[in-house]
Every structure is written in C-alpha cells, then in structure tokens.
C-alpha cells in the first residue's frame, strides 16, 4: 500500500511539473495558428474553401499543393513558425511583408498574408486562448491594390449561343483511340452524352438567368424548386467539394424569369432523378456534378461558340448587371444574396442604361438627333 501511494504521488508530481512547464514555455506562432484553424473549423464552421485557402497560406514549407505537382512556399511558417508568438514585433511583420514585395507577390497576395497573420494574432489575444498582449500586425501598412477590373458579361443572345453550343455537343472533341481512329460509341452512350450536353446548356442558362453561384446551383435539389410559384429556395451550396450552408448562411428566394423557368421545366422532363431530394443537375447515376469538370466544359463550349473569354462566374455577374439596368440596388442585392449593399453597387454601373443616356442628354440640353426625329 505504501508503494502504491508513493507511486501515485510521484506520478501526480511529474504531471504537475509537466503542466507547469507547458504553461511557462512560450507558445509559438505555429501553435497559435494551428489552434486558430481548429477553432475556425469546429466553432465558426468556416466554409471548406475558406479553410483550404487559410491552410495553404499557413502551410509548412515544401507542403505539396492540393492539385498539381507544386509545393507551398510556406513563407509565414518559415519566418514565424518557431518564434514565440509574444516576441513577434511590428517591425518583424513589416520586414516580412517587405520581403513579399521584393519577391514579386501582388499587393493583393501580400495583403492576404497580412490579413491571415492579423487574424491569428487577434485570436491569440483572447482570454480564453493565449492572452497575447497585442496584435503586431495592426500597425503595419496595407498594400494599395489595383481597382477591380470592369465587369464583362454576356448579353442574353450570347448566353443562348453558349447554351446552344453546349447542348449541341460542339465542345466535345472526337473520342479517338490509338492510331487516331474514331472510337465506336454504342447507341446508349450516344444518348447519355446527348443528355449530358443538354443538361450543361440548361445549367448555363440557369446560372445566367438566376444569378446563382455555381456551388449553389450544384447543391440545388428539386425540393427547392417551385415551378408553379416561379421561385427557387437557395439554402445550401458546395464549397471546396463539401456541401453545406450558403456563403452568407442565409436562405434566400430567387424569382424565376421565363428563360430560367423554361430551363427548369426541360430539366425536369428527364426520365430519372426528379424526386424532391434529387439534384436538379446531376451525373449519370444521380450524383453531384464536379465543379472543375464543369468549368472545363463551359470554356470548351464558349470557344466552340466563338465567344470572348468570360469567367464561368461571369454568368452571375451578367445576371446582376442585366437586372441592375431595370431596378434598384436593394432588389439586386436580394436577388444575388449579397450581405453588403456596397458589393451590389459594382453592378449598378456595369453598363450604361438607355434611360441614363436620356437623362444626360436632357441635362446637357441635347435634342433628339435628325435620324431619330425622322424615324
């Protein structure tokens, strides 16, 4: 009994020393950053794409990229990883940011590193985390970024050309086997490909006429579609390959114009996968479509249609910009699901509205042109 008591006392004393040493040892930046990422995932439930982006910025040097053969530079961890977080000063962060300038990183990329550093230190200042005394990033300079590029988007006739190109299969290259011979396709395969192509065309229409984000469209189920009431309920989205809540964690209702409504009617006319829990756009066996593969098919269809380069996300920009020609900013904000009205303002000036030109002509005393009077 005496030996057991002594052994227990020794174990308790050893654990107490280890715990005291752990508390007294300066916590490193790496530990704070890792704890922050866990908190973002488990407590804040950040979107998968957001977490992937932050993990990339905070990766260790040499970490393989998620895609491709490249490896992460790991600039933040290489510089600050082993340093006690409490010892990192504003001058240290300023010097680090200047090395990014010298390395040729864009102002936007430098600001991203700065923002991640600031978020880690802000988390470390909390009393329920590491009680750091300050945030050394706060007093550093944010880089001046170039203004956002002017929005470019497709007009409705260009959207229809894109959708028609996809539906006709014009973007498909011939399936060739070895020796350059065209592979024989079974009638079933020909039909399956035709259905896939038609679905792509309808999806491009849906994106262009509803303003849905691609992740929202990929997660849309038939139970979210009210054809009689002519509206969609957007309550989930795909981010980083993971299905979850929408970007703003809000449910919104999107009214359906005729082109969007008709596209959905045609999609629902298929033989299978039209139940309430089935995806509106889906693979051959009903599964969710792959976003990266769809992106490639979009650009192939765009090229086949002879259309200029516009990002797939530009279909959403087009929806917002076209609607902005006819209505006010609040309606556009609700239509697109923007959290801030300032985001919507960008769409209000994408292209001049005819009535804006008329107002300016009236302001400057310009009368109708001769050809217009003659008409």
Active site residues: 213, 247, 313, 316, 338, 347
| Bridge partners, residue 226, by sequence | 231
What burial class does residue 93 get, using C-beta atoms within 10 Å of its C-beta: 0-12 exposed, 13-18 middle, 19+ buried?
Answer: buried
Query: Rounded to whole angstroms, how far apart are CA atoms 272 and 284?
Result: 9
87: which DSSP letter? G
Exposed / middle / buried, residue 25 (Cβ in 10 Å: 0-12, 13-18, 19+): exposed
DSSP H helices, the chain, are 2-24, 29-42, 48-57, 75-80, 90-102, 107-124, 156-167, 187-210, 214-218, 258-268, 291-304, 314-324, 329-336, 341-348, 354-363, 370-374
What the block records as the tokens of 195 is 């259905």
Query: Hey, what are 278's tokens?
Result: 């089935």
Compute the radius of gyration of the chain from its Cα atoms.
28
Of residues 124, 147, 127, the one with CA closest to residue 37? 124
């Amino acid at each position: 009994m005496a030996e057991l008591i002594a052994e227990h006392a020794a174990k308790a004393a050893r654990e107490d020393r280890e715990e005291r040493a752990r508390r007294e040892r300066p916590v490193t930046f790496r530990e704070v950053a890792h704890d922050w990422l866990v908190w973002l995932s488990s407590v804040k439930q950040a979107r998968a794409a957001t977490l992937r982006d932050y993990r990339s910025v905070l990766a260790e040097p040499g970490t393989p990229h998620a895609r491709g053969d490249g490896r992460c530079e790991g600039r933040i961890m290489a510089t600050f990883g082993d340093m006690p977080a409490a010892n990192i000063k504003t001058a240290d962060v300023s010097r680090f940011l200047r090395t990014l300038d010298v390395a040729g990183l864009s102002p936007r990329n430098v600001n991203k590193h700065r923002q991640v550093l600031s978020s880690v230190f802000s988390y470390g200042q909390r009393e329920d985390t590491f009680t750091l005394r300050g945030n050394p990033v706060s007093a550093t300079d944010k880089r001046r970024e170039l203004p956002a590029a002017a929005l470019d988007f497709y007009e409705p006739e260009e959207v229809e050309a894109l959708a028609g190109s996809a539906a006709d299969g014009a973007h498909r290259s011939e399936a060739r086997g070895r020796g350059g011979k065209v592979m024989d396709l079974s009638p079933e395969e020909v039909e399956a490909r035709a259905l896939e192509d038609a679905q792509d065309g309808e999806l491009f229409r849906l994106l262009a006429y509803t303003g849905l984000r691609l992740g929202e469209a990929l997660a849309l189920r038939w139970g979210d579609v009210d054809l009689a009431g002519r509206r969609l309920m957007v309550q989930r989205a795909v981010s980083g390959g993971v299905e979850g809540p929408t970007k703003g964690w809000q449910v919104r209702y999107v009214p359906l114009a005729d082109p969007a409504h008709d596209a959905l009617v045609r999609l629902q006319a298929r033989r299978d996968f039209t139940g309430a829990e089935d995806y509106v756009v889906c693979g051959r066996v009903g599964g969710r479509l792959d976003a990266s593969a769809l992106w490639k098919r979009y650009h192939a269809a765009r090229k086949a249609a002879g259309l200029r380069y516009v990002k797939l996300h530009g279909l959403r920009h087009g929806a917002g910009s076209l609607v902005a020609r006819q209505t006010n900013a609040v309606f556009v904000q609700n239509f697109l699901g923007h959290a801030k009205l300032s985001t919507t303002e960008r769409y209000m000036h994408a292209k001049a509205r005819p009535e804006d030109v008329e107002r300016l002509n009236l302001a400057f005393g310009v009368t109708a042109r001769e050809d217009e009077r003659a008409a």
